[in-house]
Amino acid sequence: MKTARWAEPIGKILADVVRDLGLSKKLSEQRAVVEWSDIVGRRVAEHARAVRVDNGKLFVEVDSPVWSQELTLMKRDILRQINDRLGRKAIDDIHYVLGGARPHGASGRNEEEDDGEG
């Protein structure tokens, strides 16, 4: 006699596999990078972008020393927002680095300085 087998939702199966392989924290860390602009908002994301996570430390590239200082002062709140969004304490610290490239989506142009010519 056959016993009935109930199909499990694929999402539950994948969640179990991720947990069993010990990848939950790594996936959460990567989500912090991917969701950075949604977490911090457009204003901050225009000047700073998350680039990677190493052992719970989020590395964020900023476009100026002024923004590095501003975000350093906001670090505690940003850490709380990130970990609340992820539903776990995946990020322990944030390290701001001055970067040569502008964050994604930033044009690099100051509209106030634009004289309308070419």
pTM (2 d.p.): 0.70
Domain assignment present for residue 111? The answer is no
Report how far residue 89's alpha carbon sits from residue 93's, in angstroms, rounded to the nearest whole number: 10
Q: How far from 74 is each of 27, 54, 81, CA to CA, in Å?
A: 24, 20, 11
Domain assignment present for residue 72? The answer is yes
Q: How many structural domains comprise the chain?
A: 1
Contact 60, 50 (CB under 8 A): yes
Longest dimension (CA), the chain: 83
Give tens-digit pLDDT for 33-55.
999 999 999 999 999 999 999 99
Domain assignment present for residue 62? The answer is yes
Give tens-digit pLDDT for 68-94.
999 999 999 999 999 999 999 999 999
Residue span of the structural domain in which 21 resides: 10-105
**Would the pLDDT of 115 be above 70?**
no
- CATH number, position 40: 3.30.300.180
Domain assignment present for residue 114? The answer is no
